[in-house]
Amino acid sequence: MANELKLGARRVGAFVDFDPDTPEVQVILERDDRGIRITIPWSDIRSPYAGWFMGESMFLTSPEGEEVEQESKPVPKRVLFADSYGSALLIRCWARGFHANVFGPGSGTLWSRAAIMGVEIDVEYDRPHGLKTEISGLREWLGISSWEETYRGDPPPYTASLVSKDVDSIDLGEHNGFNMTLVPLWTVTPGAGRDNRVLLDLLRCTTRSDEPRDWTEHRGHHQALRDLLVVSRWWNETCVELSALRDDDPQRTMDGETHGDLWRDVVVSDDESQPPPADGRQHLIRYSELGVVGVQKWFALRDDFARALGPVILSRALKAAGGHTLLAHTGPGLEALGYLLMLRDGMSESAARSANLKHWFTRILDDLGDCLPFDGPTWVEETADTYNAIKHANRSEPDELDVLNAWVRCVLVVRAWVAVELGVPLDELKQRLMDDPQASGYVKIG
């Protein structure tokens, strides 16, 4: 067995919290659909491990019957697990959930954001210098492949060949102190049987920083690129961390010499990649039109209009939500977009703030021309009425179908606005919007 932590894994091994005053203990490391966690046992409630779960301080009874207050130590942000298969550094840890007898044995659960495989000492991997992710749909959107397919049928017999090839990386430049690169690659892995081989066509998104930066800052830049794909195709693309780099954890040989970067494998709780849509939906925004400059423009746009774009993009992940929740979640984004556009026009904050909902919506339409697959002024009136109706109890509650369609059209308006901002020609955008699944909206059956 390799040093892996696959879904359903359960390993028993030594636990290190890098505190010399805590006792040695054997723990259980598990990964399931709830996340990555370590179960820590204790035989006595006076154990420092119990203090992680009991609160900031505990009142205990001494052998003489006196009540003594024991201060608990803070939960470590990084801990180490090791067994016969190898080691794993768990980062961004928190304590939640325990079971214990009164003044007796018990156990608690320590949860982790990610496991860095193979690390044997305390390294600050929650602040890496580099992070690699896989973003679903990105390679397809870029239109690149690390394999070349060839078919021949003249003269017979019909033959086909698949040959690997090197593809240049795409340098997306620097943004907020991070250098981002897209790296195409191929690999061959064992299949389900001995006679099977699986050929993979991959693409890795990499961020590097000169100084160590917080894990969430690194991931935020990967998420920004993923959000562009969501806006473009309106599909809930995934962004999964695969490996991380620290400059103070390089490759080393037995003699202690260092030999360049060492990318450590990363395991996160949810590493399932989103499959492509089955309905053949196309992108509103094409990389062939944007190029690197267009992607950089998206990063800046996302920063400037975060209050507007964030709620709309996040609504794509609300799988079980009803129409009222979706519109209530997305509506503030539309309000913010109209308000921010007025500020960009040079309007004062007080004037932009005093505008009403219909004014904000109309300002968004001003940038879209006639590219929408529905009437813009009608959308302004109907959406404002529906949105206000779900916000204010003194108004008649709108029909659920009307609410859902108001949400769909709000999303389509924002997606169209982003496409225009990034330079998609209006005539091209108009045709793509007509073909987009959101253009038809929802209809009542029965």
Report the pLDDT averaged over residues 352-380: 95
Same domain, 109 and 144: no
Tell which of 214, 249, 268 closes a domain.
268
Per-residue pLDDT at 442 exceeds 90: no
CB 60 within 8 A of CB 70: yes
- The verdict on 39 and 134 lying in the same domain is no
Does residue 72 form part of some domain? yes
Residue 253 lies in a domain: yes
On whether residue 289 sits in a domain, the answer given is: no
Average pLDDT, the chain: 92
| Percent of the chain at pLDDT exceeding 90 | 76
* Mean pLDDT, residues 257-267: 89
Residues of the domain holding 103: 10-117
- Min mean pLDDT across 108-112, 117-121, 256-260 is at 256-260
Identify whether residues 83 and 106 lie together within a single domain.
Answer: yes
**107 shares its domain with 138:** no
310 lies in the same domain as 382: yes
Domain C-terminal end among 247, 268, 289: 268
Is 3 contained in some domain?
no
Question: Is 445 within a domain?
Answer: no
Does any domain span residue 277? no
Confidence of residue 57 (pLDDT cuts 50, 70, 90): very low
Residue 313 lies in a domain: yes
Distinct helix (H) and strand (E) counts, the chain: 11, 18
Do 201 and 84 reside in the same domain of the chain? Answer: no
Beta strands in 78-235 (DSSP E): 78-83, 86-91, 94-100, 106-112, 114-117, 130-135, 147-152, 159-164, 170-175, 178-190, 197-208
Q: Which residue has the higher pLDDT, 226 or 73?
A: 226
- Asked if residue 145 and residue 110 are part of one domain, the reply reads no
* One domain, residues 223 and 343: no
> Would you say 301 and 290 are in contact if contact means Cβ atoms under 8 Å apart?
no
Domain identity same for 435 and 310: yes
Both 426 and 315 in one domain: the answer is yes
Give the tens place of pLDDT for each residue, 383-401. Answer: 999 999 998 777 888 889 9
Residues near 224 by beta carbon (within 8 Å), at least 6 away in sequence: 298, 299, 302
Calculate what percentage of the chain has a pLDDT beyond 70. Answer: 95
Instruction: Kindly state whether residue 201 falls inside one of the protein's structural domains.
Output: yes
Give this prediction's pTM: 0.91
- Total domains, the chain: 3
The last residue of a domain, from among 250, 268, 286 = 268
Residues 249 and 153 in one domain: yes
